[in-house]
Amino acid sequence: VAPSIHLSPATRSLFDEPLAIAVRGLSPRQQVMLRMSLRDERGELFQACARYQAGDDGELDLARCPALPGGSFSGLEPMGLLWALQPQKPFWCMVKQDVQSPFVLQLEVFEGHGDTPGWLLAQAQHERVFLRDGVRRVPVREGRIRATLFLPPGKDTFPGIIDIHGYVRGLFEQRASWLANRGFATLALAYFGYEDLPQKPTKLHLEYFEEAVNYMLQHPQVKGPGVGLLGYSKGGELCLTMAAFLKNITAVACLNSPVATICVPLHYKDKIIPPLPTDAQQIKVIDSNIIDPCGTYIDPFQAPGNQSLIPLEKAEAQLLFIVGQDDRMIKSEYHATEACKLLKAQGKGNFQILSYPGTGHYFDPPFFPLYSIGNHPLLHKWAIWGGELKPYCEAQVHAWPQIQAFFNKYL
């Protein structure tokens, strides 16, 4: 019998869902190499490979057979071929702009454990999709808002979430699409570098984000009385500021976010929140091309009355801080810990922290590849973002259902 690949689900699965992989029809205890490949929207190749040995019955089930040393990973890792995907081009970040089209996985089985692939024994393709059947994608151009609303299937009302990305130009829909798959009406909100929004802002206005909150609360399929906010990095900082100054914010989840304003001033009515100063002397040069930016921002807790610090004591919302202990861009674990100490000292208990070892600044939902070195948005140099392959994957897999449970509880 010719070897064959068996996948479950067979042909399509949601990107954040597990994928069962097995190979049948091999010789007893046959040595093979499995290679997973994916090309992103810009044509760049991501790959992972692992060495295996079939069982006495000629079957290889990744849920029961450990990978042998010599590949991208080793040990019992049923999803290893997905979480270990890495770009062939150095420092390349996988981004999904068009969530209406899938990523296509190519899985190949080669004979032997040589340094170069042996005879091709079997191959298969599988689509990893971003939208569950029935989820609606609605472009939003209301007033100043530039966004995309994702609505779960059906005509019911759903808990509403606004998703805000980090300090990168454009509109990012992947996290919002996944939340809609899980039953949340989710608005992916751009705030610069998109359509007629400022290309390079010198300041941001909280009124813009307030307009997005009001849009969600007035939508007939958003269940009130409040909305949730999910933000990454600078986006998390904006979410925390919204919770401190705006009404009808019920729950906020932040991924590796500062608790002080960074990058550009934030204006609201007659108030201006200045950005946290930076200290260039703290930047370490690793080599001619790469820097370690840890410590770039001054400590917002060391200067009493620091005007950049977000007044979180004003927030009525529940706060969830998700932080990587190896975050080199922002000392997010320190920021979250110190902020929660201040809240506790004021008798507040509306906070929790999920802290993950071996996890850097970049933090996407499950099975998006690790991005440990990337372009610094302010310094415009290659910078260490932090993180290690397997701990980062474990953090993704643990944090994603925690975020959903948090919003289900409070929305």
Q: Which residues are catalytic?
A: 233, 327, 361
Q: How far apart are CA 179 and CA 404, in angstroms?
A: 8
* Count of beta carbons in the 10 Å neighbourhood of residue 64: 11
Bridge partners, 321 (sequence order): 254, 353
CB 140 within 8 A of CB 186: no
The tokens of 59 are what?
């079957």
- Rounded Cα distance between 242 and 311, Å, is 10
Which residue carries 């260039």 as its tokens? 280
- Asked if omega into 366 is within 30° of 0 (cis), the reply is no
Reported for 210-215, long-range contacts at CB under 8 A and 24+ positions apart, including other chains, are: 210/242, 210/246, 211/142, 211/143, 211/144, 211/145, 212/145, 212/147, 212/162, 212/187, 213/162, 213/242, 213/246, 213/248, 213/249, 215/140, 215/142, 215/143, 215/145, 215/187
| Contact (CB, 8 A) for 258 and 327 | no
Contacts of residue 287, defined as CB under 8 A and 6 or more positions apart, other chains included, come to: none
